[in-house]
Structure 1
Amino acid sequence: MRQTLLAGLSFQFLTVVLPAQKGSVLPAEKSAYRDPLSGIEVLELTQKGKPDNLYYHFPNFTADGKQLIFADDRGQGSQVYSLDVESGRIRQLTEGEGVSAHSACPHPGDARRLFYLRGPRVFELNPETLAEKQLGEIPAPRAGGYGQPTLSHDGKSLAVAKQVDERQWEVGLMSIETGAYRTVVRTGFRIGHVQHHPSEPVIFYVWETGGYAPQRTWLVNSDGSANRPFYASVDPKKWVTPLKEWVTHESWVRGTGQMTMILDKIGILIVNLDGTSRMIDGDYWHVAGSPDGKKLAADDHRGGLFLIDPAAGSRRLLAAGLRDGDRGVHAHASFSPDGRYLIFNTGRVKKALAWIDLHGLDR
């Protein structure tokens, strides 16, 4: 007779943690505090992962304002996520290798459309159903440098960039209906910060050096004509260093068609399409305009975040100490489509996403 001996045997049950997948929903991580200097309530939206907001070339929200789109790495590589504005719940929108989460581009007029890149391949994703398709591919010759796309003024194309070879870069347009690609302009220098004008057939781009450039800012018509410098000159007496102005961190203001720029250590330039400008003095780092252009949000290197009235030239401190726990944080603040929320990165304790409800400032 065969006997089975159980005595002395031990059984171990292993808990297998499956990787997060597209469609996974995480509970809200919201935590509020009141800034000790401004007295304003700041709501930190994430407590885990390595979150990062999208660049402030356009709203970080879906067109209906119901979902905040952001990039995060929660152990499976960088992916695109959404945060439900009402509940705070977090949802993973993409999965797999090669996702350029920071390339995510919500359609400003259609909450069901979001674009993002996997290398040179451009995808369209529905943030609600998670259905997606490959829209097209940035064609060869190519050597990377694709950056973050922006939607054209008529909503028909994405403006993108690519490095052609060791010497050349170009700006191109891709149809969001057919995926067809055409070259707009090719240059002999590195291109960055490609942004289509919100209401005109004009594309902005910069000569990217990581610092000072002899001629940083450029405009070109969407049909490839009239490639020209876009330069806002300032009184030379205000120049920090001889013979140069250090312009950086540019973005269009959707409601006015103007552009905000940082003039390093001098102030904020508000620039018209014809290149004329006016200055708001101050040592700021990044700046973005509200959808109607009536407010600006700007941060400084010390970790302060300010709300500026460009008409009056006045400013109000919203939060301080945003770099106290993580000096590598860039706030990159931007407004929700209705102007209610100001979304930004904070490193007060560790890196997190946060927002301030501007409608509640004076309550």
Structure 2
Amino acid sequence: MIAAVTLGAWLPLSSVLGQIGTRFPAERKVVKDPVTGTMLTFLTSTPAGDTKIYQTHPQWTADGQWLVFRSNRVKGEALAVHEKDGTLIQVTEGGYTGMLNLAQKSMKLYLMRSTGGPPASQGAEGARQRSALQKQVVEVNLERLFADSKAGKLQPTTVYQRVCGTIPAEMEAGGDMALDAAEDRVYFRVGKTEAAKHLAADTKLADNFGPRNMGAGPAGLASMNVNTGEIKYVVSVPFQIGHVQANPFVTGEIIFCWETGGKSPQRTWTVLADGSGLRPLYPEADYEWVTHEAVISPDEVAIAIMGHRKINPAKDNNTLQASTSNKPADPQNPGQETDWGPSGTREKPTGLGIVNLRTREMLIAGQTPSGSGLWHVHGSADGRWAVGDDFARNIYLIDRHSHEMILLSAGHKTTAADHPHPTFSADGTRIEIQSAMLSADNRSMNICVIPVPADWLKRRYDGK
């Protein structure tokens, strides 16, 4: 057990970054998809640097009315937008690092922030210096904030934000954080020095893998009780950890990945909160390129098994067409460098895979007929739908019962600053993405919600 440095502390009354609860003019627009005809609801529509929460985490507040996202409207702060009326409100003050965690049983937001250090504008060196600082886990009371902001009676920041505890600097905590299903603790990544303390002396550490020179270990996970600030160590592994997420339906279950920036020797992993049960989630072969895992139901994790690389069938050994050079990644079709190895072709099954955490069975829910294959994937918690984007920023919807797949939305511009990252709402009726469709610079993104087609929602199976 590791004692937290600070318990029950409160944040400063002021911040140079902006006033929590500040409201901005609504930007909500309903736009017809130029390719599919689907009606798209853009909740933001100006070039303000909007990006959604990653698809490994909930996007909507517990009441299903607000979406929380990152934005440069107030540099370094998070905003919320009301899905129906477009109201925009700043929901943090004092900044944050890494992942935003929305509770699903209460109107709470949890985040991590550094206690000081150089600003984000100082780039990689500033990030390195901040990583060596203490980190605070902060709780935001959204229910009270929304009510006071609507009434025009905002109170001091301390009324809405509470420090749950402080993580010692020597743990080098990262912002890769996830909220347990019981909503009484968060899990977070720790640095190499701390992780090494908890590894067996004879453990062989992984080296970097692939052209991005990432993946070397060790790394680890720890947890903090958000009510008491108590910190407990979870597990160490001999490789770099990324994409930390908690099963939002089952308490004490963690999913994470071996992060290399691309193909990993073994991408997906799971472990229990007490450190037991560490194992690969989906044991992969050398020829498989597995990526972008996301928990979608109590027992299931969606994964993308990539088929984005072409081979040269004219050669006897079917070498990759890019094998004559280790060329840099194409931003519209990344991962072509030969240093990634032989994986990612369509010689073997690829597509949107769904792994059962209990039976360990995996099935392919769907596959694009051509092109790169699906890249970021998700699914509805009721088991009806799956969704994925491809490198062209197209959004594909899959009926998991019939395996029918349709192009739901397109035209989101391959020049966008990032991929759409589709994520289902809790009730499985809507999908949130980030899109540059409305951007004059063809790059800046906005928050967009896509409905599941009405005729699909009416479908019944086995008389249900």
- Band of TM-score, shorter chain: 0.7 to 0.9
**Aligned amino acid, residue 170 of structure 1:** G
By percentage of residues, which structure has more strand?
1
Structure 2 equivalent of residue 327 of structure 1: 416
Query: Could you tell me whether the CA contact under 8 Å between 1:57 and 1:195 is conserved in 2?
Result: yes
Which residue of the other structure, out of 304, 322, 325, is the alignment partner of 2:394? Answer: 304
**Aligned amino acid, residue 267 of structure 1:** G
Query: Could you tell me whether the CA contact under 8 Å between 1:146 and 1:163 is conserved in 2?
Result: no
Residue 129 in structure 1 maps to residue 144 in structure 2: yes
CA distance in 2, matches of 1:116, 1:297: 27
Alignment of 1:98-109 (within 5 A): 98-100=95-97, 102-109=98-105
**Aligned amino acid, residue 257 of structure 1:** D
Residue 313 in structure 1 maps to residue 403 in structure 2: yes
CA distance in 2, matches of 1:362, 1:233: 33
**Aligned amino acid, residue 142 of structure 1:** M
Query: Could you tell me whether the CA contact under 8 Å between 1:232 and 1:271 is conserved in 2?
Result: no
Alignment of 1:86-101 (within 5 A): 86-96=84-94, 98-100=95-97
Structure 2 equivalent of residue 63 of structure 1: 62
Query: Could you tell me whether the CA contact under 8 Å between 2:99 and 2:178 is conserved in 1?
Result: no
Question: Residues 269 and 202 from structure 1, CA distance in 2 versus in 1: closer, same or farther, beyond 3 angstroms?
Answer: same
By percentage of residues, which structure has more helix?
2
Structure 1 equivalent of residue 12 of structure 2: none
**How far is 1:304 from its partner?**
0.7
**How far is 1:285 from its partner?**
0.9
Query: Could you tell me whether the CA contact under 8 Å between 1:232 and 1:277 is conserved in 2?
Result: no
TM-score by length of 1: 0.85
Question: Residues 107 and 230 from structure 1, CA distance in 2 versus in 1: closer, same or farther, beyond 3 angstroms?
Answer: same
Structure 2 equivalent of residue 271 of structure 1: 355
Query: Could you tell me whether the CA contact under 8 Å between 2:100 and 2:110 is conserved in 1?
Result: yes
Structure 2 equivalent of residue 229 of structure 1: 280
Runs of 4 or more, structure 1, over 6 Å off, are: none
**How far is 1:167 from its partner?**
4.8
Structure 2 equivalent of residue 170 of structure 1: 220
**How far is 1:46 from its partner?**
1.0
**Aligned amino acid, residue 80 of structure 1:** A
- Over residues 199-257 of structure 1, what are the superposed CA-to-partner deviations in whole Å (9 max), with x where a residue is unaligned? 153211111110111112112121112322222457xxxxxxxx331110001113x42
Q: Secondary structure at the match of 1:285?
A: strand
Q: Secondary structure at the match of 1:188?
A: strand
CA distance in 1, matches of 2:23, 2:167: 32
Higher RCO (CA 8 Å, separation ≥ 6 residues): 2
**How far is 1:67 from its partner?**
1.1
Question: Residues 105 and 267 from structure 1, CA distance in 2 versus in 1: closer, same or farther, beyond 3 angstroms?
Answer: same
Query: Could you tell me whether the CA contact under 8 Å between 2:17 and 2:75 is conserved in 1?
Result: no
**How far is 1:43 from its partner?**
1.5
Question: Residues 187 and 362 from structure 1, CA distance in 2 versus in 1: closer, same or farther, beyond 3 angstroms?
Answer: closer
Q: Secondary structure at the match of 1:58?
A: coil
Question: Residues 362 and 182 from structure 1, CA distance in 2 versus in 1: closer, same or farther, beyond 3 angstroms?
Answer: closer
Identity %: 31
Deviates more, 1:271-280 or 1:115-124: 271-280
**Aligned amino acid, residue 79 of structure 2:** Y
Query: Could you tell me whether the CA contact under 8 Å between 2:35 and 2:411 is conserved in 1?
Result: no
CA distance in 2, matches of 1:175, 1:317: 43
Q: What's the C-alpha RMSD, in Å, of the aligned pairs?
A: 2.2
CA distance in 2, matches of 1:142, 1:177: 20
**Aligned amino acid, residue 109 of structure 2:** L
Alignment of 1:214-363 (within 5 A): 214-233=265-284, 243-254=286-297, 256-265=298-307, 266-273=350-357, 274-279=359-364, 280-282=366-368, 283-324=373-414, 326-350=415-439, 351-358=445-452, 360=454
CA distance in 2, matches of 1:183, 1:362: 45
Structure 2 equivalent of residue 4 of structure 1: none
CA distance in 1, matches of 2:17, 2:272: 45
**Aligned amino acid, residue 96 of structure 2:** V
**How far is 1:129 from its partner?**
2.2
CA distance in 1, matches of 2:259, 2:57: 20
**How far is 1:66 from its partner?**
1.4
- Over residues 333-362 of structure 1, what are the superposed CA-to-partner deviations in whole Å (9 max), with x where a residue is unaligned? 112222232111011242111112336567
Deviates more, 1:161-170 or 1:244-253: 161-170
CA distance in 2, matches of 1:153, 1:79: 25
- Over residues 135-158 of structure 1, what are the superposed CA-to-partner deviations in whole Å (9 max), with x where a residue is unaligned? 1123342335331x2222333221
